[in-house]
């Protein structure tokens, strides 16, 4: 029983990796919506593995490395494939270099790998340096979900604009490794005064999701970044 308890956080991390692997399979097959739901499940598992490890006091170097390896698939490889696919969908085959430009989306995968490796050799306990890979992943996976469930001429024209996708790729790749202190959602206590920014972010996120559904995800991610810049964590 004690062995299972010790392994349980790592089991949750492996579920993150499993969901991410399924996300890769479906993304390669062109089913970005199903892939997005598996990746979303992986991101949820990624949140809870650390939460469980802290609550059970079972944090370990093995868990840290395993977590980053799982994140590399779920929050590194998959969003790169998503951006590749979205760029491919957005380009006109008659344009010059149309068959090369989609590979530009893999810059997200490279930037995520660098960010995760740097995270493992740094001490980011109460805040993050640079955008966490799951936050970037949520932003990217929201695009096919918006197209599928909230598709409109306006949304389609924005999301399937090559300039927009390239700009997002460059911006998020920069933010993943920027020297910015960003808020961590890890709660040491639930005291309101000590966690006012976290409660503000969560409340605002729920409000936006209620009104804008999948379209709220990009707004939440950018609000998270702006909030962290305006009120830097200590």
Residues 6+ apart with CB under 8 A from 193: none
Helix or strand (DSSP H, E) at 64: helix 61-72
How far is the C-alpha of 72 from the C-alpha of 133, rounded, in Å?
9
Report whether 13 contacts 63 (CB < 8 A). yes
What pLDDT is stored for residue 140 in this prediction? 97
> Residue 7: what pLDDT?
65
**What does the alpha-carbon distance between residue 36 and residue 78 come to, in Å, rounded to a whole number?**
9
Show Cβ contacts of residue 195 under 8 Å, excluding neighbours closer than 6 positions. 187, 189
pLDDT at position 125, please?
A: 64
Task: Record the pTM.
Answer: 0.90
pLDDT at 101: 93
Q: 98: helix, coil or strand?
A: coil
pLDDT the model gives residue 11:
87
Please state, in angstroms and rounded to a whole number, the distance separating the CA atoms of residues 85 and 147: 13
| Topology (CATH level 3) of domain 2-230 | 1.20.120
The per-residue pLDDT for 104 is 95
Per-residue pLDDT tens, the chain, 234 aa: give them. 566 556 678 889 999 999 999 999 999 999 999 999 999 999 999 988 777 767 666 667 777 888 899 999 999 999 999 999 999 999 988 877 778 999 999 999 999 999 999 988 876 667 889 999 999 999 999 999 999 999 788 899 999 999 999 999 999 999 999 999 998 877 665 666 667 888 888 899 999 999 999 999 999 999 999 999 988 887
Q: By C-alpha distance, which of 81, 97, 8, 88 is closest to 39?
A: 81
Please say whether the beta carbons of 197 and 229 come within 8 A: no
pLDDT at 57: 66
**What burial class does residue 100 get, using C-beta atoms within 10 Å of its C-beta: 0-12 exposed, 13-18 middle, 19+ buried?**
exposed
């Amino acid at each position: 029983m004690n062995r299972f308890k010790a392994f349980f956080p790592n089991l949750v991390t492996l579920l993150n990796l499993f969901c991410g692997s399924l996300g890769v399979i479906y993304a390669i097959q062109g089913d970005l919506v199903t892939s997005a739901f598996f990746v979303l499940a992986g991101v949820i598992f990624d949140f809870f593995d650390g939460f469980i490890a802290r609550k059970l006091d079972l944090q370990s170097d093995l868990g840290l490395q395993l977590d980053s390896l799982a994140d590399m698939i779920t929050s590194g490889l998959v969003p790169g494939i998503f951006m590749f696919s979205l760029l491919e969908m957005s380009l006109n085959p008659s344009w010059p270099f149309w068959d090369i430009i989609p590979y530009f989306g893999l810059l997200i995968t490279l930037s995520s790998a660098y960010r995760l490796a740097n995270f493992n050799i740094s001490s980011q306990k109460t805040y993050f340096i640079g955008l966490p890979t799951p936050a970037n992943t949520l932003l990217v996976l929201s695009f096919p979900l918006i197209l599928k469930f909230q598709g409109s001429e306006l949304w389609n024209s924005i999301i399937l604009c090559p300039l927009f996708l390239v700009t997002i790729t460059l911006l998020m790749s920069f933010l993943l490794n920027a020297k910015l202190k960003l808020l961590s959602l890890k709660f040491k206590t639930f005291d309101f005064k000590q966690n006012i920014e976290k409660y503000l972010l969560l409340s605002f996120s729920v409000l936006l999701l209620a009104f804008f559904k999948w379209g709220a995800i990009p707004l939440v991610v950018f609000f998270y970044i702006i909030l962290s810049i305006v009120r830097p964590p200590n």
